Amino acid sequence: MYYITILDFANGSVDQYDLLDQEGFDKTTISHWQTEDFEEFLVSEGYKLNNIEWMSHSDNTINYF
């Protein structure tokens, strides 16, 4: 799980991060992340946890319907 997708209800956007592109993160570190680690990252990026839904996943495909 190296991607995180965020539904931001505050501004109506869908954002996606490739965590391996973030400075200081590597495969070994991210593979051991728990929920709290993801939430810490989200807060550090300026998200408010009560205004978003998020998920981590292994591919970056977004399906549009």
Indicate yes or no: pTM above 0.95.
no
Give the tokens for residue 63. 């399906």
Residue with more model confidence, 35 or 1: 35
Element (H, E) at 52: strand 52-57
Q: Are 62 and 17 in contact (CB under 8 A)?
A: no
Res 18 pLDDT > 80 = yes
Q: Answer yes or no: is pLDDT of 1 > 80.
A: no
pLDDT band at 64 (very low <50, low <70, confident <90, very high): confident
Q: Nearest to residue 60, comparing CAs of 10, 2, 7?
A: 2
